Amino acid sequence: QFAFGSATQIKPDSFKCKIEVATEDKLRLAGVKYPDKTRMGMFAVSCEFSIDWEDPAVGFSSADEIEAWLAGPNPREINLFGLWDSGTQAGTGDNHSLNLDLPRMVLEGDLADYDLEKDPMASLKFNGLFDSTTTKYLFGLMLKNTATAV
C-alpha cells in the first residue's frame, strides 16, 4: 500500500527502492598500498514500481488515471509514501510497520505508450531530490515496533 492520509493509494505489482551513499576512498602516498582515508558522500535514492493499467485492484484502471495522478504544478515531480503493515496487532494495539517517506521524487523518462495489444504493465522509475524547503530530507525510513517488550 502506498498512501498517506487522503493521498492517492496504489498497490503496485512490484516495488524496488535503492538507497545509496557515495563513498570515496583516497589513496595517498603514505607508505601503504591501500586507501587510508574514506570520505562519506551524498545519499542517493531511486525507486521503481510496476502497475497494471487494466487492473482496478492496483488503484488505477486506465492510463488516464496514471497521468492524472502525475499531473500537478510540476507533473514530473511527486512524493511517495510506502507503508508495509504486518496486519497483526502487537501489544499496544497498533501494527508493526515499515514506513518509507520519499518527499520529492522526479519521474525518469516518459510514461510508456499504452496499447491494447501489448502487455498492460507499466514501470515507473523515479529519482529522489533533496527537499530543501519543506521536509529538509531526501528520504525518511521508520520501523514501527509496537511490542511492549523485545
Render the burial of 131-144: b for 16+ CB within 10 Å, e for the rest: beeeeeebbeeeee
Task: Tell me how many degrees the CA angle 2-75-12 measures, rounded to the nearest 5.
Answer: 25
pLDDT, tens digit, for every residue of 50-60? 877 776 655 55
pLDDT on residue 46: 93
pLDDT band at 128 (very low <50, low <70, confident <90, very high): very high
pLDDT, tens digit, for every residue of 67-103? 666 676 677 788 888 888 877 776 666 778 888 889 8
pLDDT band at 16 (very low <50, low <70, confident <90, very high): very high
Which helix (H) or strand (E) element contains residue 66?
helix 63-70
Provide the grid cell at 57.
485492484
pLDDT, tens digit, for every residue of 103-112? 888 888 876 6
Q: Whole-prediction pTM value?
A: 0.70
Tell me how far CA of residue 149 lies from CA of 91, 121, 141, 143, in angstroms. Answer: 8, 43, 22, 15
Q: Compute the distance between CA of residue 73 and CA of residue 55 in angstroms, rounded to an integer.
A: 27
Q: Compute the distance between CA of residue 127 and CA of residue 58 in angstroms, rounded to an integer.
A: 22
User: What is the DSSP code (8-state) at residue 2?
Assistant: B
